[in-house]
Chain A
Amino acid sequence: MHISTNLWIWIQALLTLAIFTFLYKDNPLFRMAEHLFVGLATGYGLVVVYKNAFYPNVWVPLFQEKQFIFIIPFVLGLLYLTSAFPKISYMIRWPMAVLLGIGSGLSIPLTIQTYIIEQSKSSILRPPYPDLISWINALILFVGVVSVLVYFYFSIPHDRPGVKQISKVGLFLLMLGFGASFGYTVMARFSLLVGRLDFLLNKWLGIRPF
């Protein structure tokens, strides 16, 4: 067992332990680590957004390639600074309006196509199916999607004869889907914890597995 002498490994280890102290109870050390993360993340975001988004999309076209049309988005973007002054902070609504307009406009046809049409199209029964298994699967998919949609239908009481059973099937499938994502979340959360423990044991304390 030879403990690491690398400064960065020690920093990583101490920060990991600081966060683990929250398991005992919420304490100043944990809060300090949490605020350190919030600060670093905001600083990191500023640099990455500047280098990967602002510089290539605003600075270069406007100031280097002299495309003066870019003055408009640049000025609109500067209006975001007014959020620091309450009296004139309503001005952020103009760049927001442009982004909202473009965003909403682009999303309507695309969302209808990919979320609504595509998902229902691939659930419609399209025989012939090669074998019995794919017949059953296609049927479950079709009944499943229809019953989930009926479950989230609010214009008819659920105790009507036909609707009651279908929405029960829908709820059953929803629970099955939640169980599946519950299971995979358990695996994922443990992978993260095992990753941290493996770092502490292997890289920091240098305990090689036997």
Chain B
Amino acid sequence: MRPLLEKKIPLALVFIIGIIMTLQYFVPHPISQTIYDNSLMWNRAIASMAYIMAVVSFLRFHSRRLKDKNYAPYSLVAILSFAAMALIGFIGGTGSDSLFQKMYNNMMVPLQATTFSLLAFYMSSAAYRAFRIRGVEATVLMITAFIIIFGTTTIGNYVPKMNEIVEWIMAVPNLASKRGIMIGVGLGVVATSIKIILGIERNWVGG
């Protein structure tokens, strides 16, 4: 009974739903349109509840860490701030001048923005100590980076044609390289989706 529930049913579900959803793209018939609209509704409904898993793993991880002496205070802060933010949001509402929104603008944003702004410092020390021009590839990369870094400064405006050069690099060679990568990524995504639907890729049901 167990393999049926754990493996057979999920794989059958993914196969049937996958085939129907792939084919409906090619069927203009109104029935296919209703299938499409309903599937999006079901998708939104189930996906909205998938967040439960994120909260469960968050709470389980940090409650287990409360027992560990040197992590306890931090996990306590994590759990309390989670509870506070959730309660304030559900009770106080999320209007643009609600406490919830104020906490977002004045606590979450500065924490996130500052964490990422650290990278400007790391980039500077890396630029100084680690960005070495070794080999043709790194040289090509560095020269292009120089042009873009200098070209996107206000002072760069004063080198004649600099704006146009930056524009050309972004619109032609950079576009060619991004397109090549996008085609590769596209093939990867389609290959993975086919393997999942046909039940070839099974590690999401434990291999």
| A residues whose Cβ falls under 8 Å from a Cβ of B | 8-9, 11-12, 15-16, 19-20, 22-23, 31-51, 53-54, 57-58, 61, 70, 72-74, 76-78, 80-81, 83-84, 90-112, 114-116, 119-120, 122-123, 137, 140-141, 143-145, 147-149, 151-152, 170-187, 189-190, 192-193, 195-196, 199
Contacts and interface: CB of A to CB of B under 8 A. Distances in A.
Contacts of A92: 53
A39 B186 contact: no
A61 B37 CA distance: 14
Nearest to B193: A104
B47 interface: yes
B186 to A, nearest CB: 3
SS class, residues of chain A in contact with chain B = helix
Interface in B1-43: 5-6, 9-11, 13-22, 24-26, 39, 41-43
9 closest A-B pairs by CB = A105-B21, A148-B180, A183-B148, A144-B176, A179-B144, A115-B186, A77-B49, A101-B17, A43-B85
Contacts of B145: 179-180, 182-183, 186
Nearest to A148: B180
9 contacts: A15-B110, A46-B55, A77-B48, A100-B18, A105-B18, A119-B183, A148-B180, A148-B181, A174-B180
Contacts, number: 381
A101 B16 contact: yes
Interface of B: 5-6, 9-11, 13-22, 24-26, 39, 41-58, 60, 73-75, 77-86, 89-90, 94, 100, 102-108, 110-121, 123, 136-138, 140-149, 151-152, 169-187, 189-190, 192-194, 196-197, 204-206
B44 A53 contact: yes
B183 A73 contact: no
Contacts of B57: 83
Contact of A97 (B17, B86, B137, B192): B17
Which DSSP category, helix, strand, loop or mixed, fits chain B's interface?
helix
Contacts of B48: 49-50, 53-54, 57-58, 77
Contact of B52 (A81, A98, A99, A174): A81
A77 to B, nearest CB: 3
A182 B120 contact: no
A43 B185 CA distance: 33
Contacts of A41: 108
Nearest to A143: B176
B42 A196 contact: no
A39 B197 contact: no
B42 A33 contact: no
B179 A192 contact: no
Contact of A192 (B94, B113, B141): B113
Contact of B14 (A44, A100, A110): A100
Nearest to A38: B78
Nearest to A110: B25
A109 B25 contact: yes
Contacts of A151: 180
A192 B114 CA distance: 7
A76 B44 CA distance: 12
B110 A16 contact: yes
B176 A105 contact: no
B119 to A, nearest CB: 5
Contacts of A94: 9-10, 13
